[in-house]
Amino acid sequence: MRALPDLSLYLVTDSRLIGQKNLLSVVEPALKGGVKVVQFREKSMEAKEIFDVAMELRALTSKYNVPLIINDRLDIAQAVDADGVHLGQLDLPVEKVRKILGANKLIGFTVHNEAQAKAANQMDVDYVVAAPVFRTNTKLDTRGLLGFDGLRSILKVSKKPVIAAGGISLKNIAEVVDMDVDGVVVVNPIMTSDDPQLSAEKFVNMLTPMKI
């Protein structure tokens, strides 16, 4: 039986947001500030660089006893012995990934609507990420946004832990927490912060009332 980690503050990386900074110089203070899960997601790196950085992140997250999840790349997850992978709707089939990873690794799965959340109930995934809740810097088009109503509908039908993602900030997190989500994905507010540790601490303080 897989032990589910604390999903409350879930950091997703994006090196495009940090300029010339080293990714670990952002992630480590964020871990000190209370980040509970790190998902390594990089769209602009070649495979070798992804592997090299993932190895460094594996050592760092192990130091803080925090799970490392690899976005999409099953091969990288295996190569660095990550704690799991995160899959989107168009990624490899969950059942195939589970067969390869084995029973002890985590699988997260993105859902965009109630129907997909219902389908995920029948899959061997450990949690779902409901996205996008709000507009983000990379998704300016408001069509397809869940909003509070869409998130509420997913929470109503999901039998899996639900993490809210997409435009989560200190300005709207209180309302999201009130909906009894199991966690929130944070990207920009930590990745672009001049003080990632302080930013993470502020989120932790806001997350204190959560049911977990």
Give the per-residue pLDDT at 212: 44
For strand 106-111 and strand 37-40, is the pairing parallel, antiparallel, or unpaired? unpaired
- Helices 23-33, 196-207: axis angle to 10 degrees equals 30
Structure tokens at 55: 């190895």
* Distance between first and last Cα of the chain: 19
Query: pLDDT at position 143, please?
Result: 61
| CATH number corresponding to 9-207 | 3.20.20.70
The sign of the CA dihedral 81, 87, 92, 97 is positive
Mean pLDDT by 10 residues, the chain (212 residues): 90 95 98 99 92 99 98 97 98 97 97 98 98 78 83 98 97 95 97 98 88 46
> Within 13 Å and on the Cβ side, how many CA atoms surround 183?
24
Q: What's the CA gap between 144 and 151, in Å, rounded?
A: 12
Report pTM: 0.95
pLDDT, residue 5, reads 96
What is the residue extent of each domain of the chain? 9-207
Tokens of 188: 């920009």
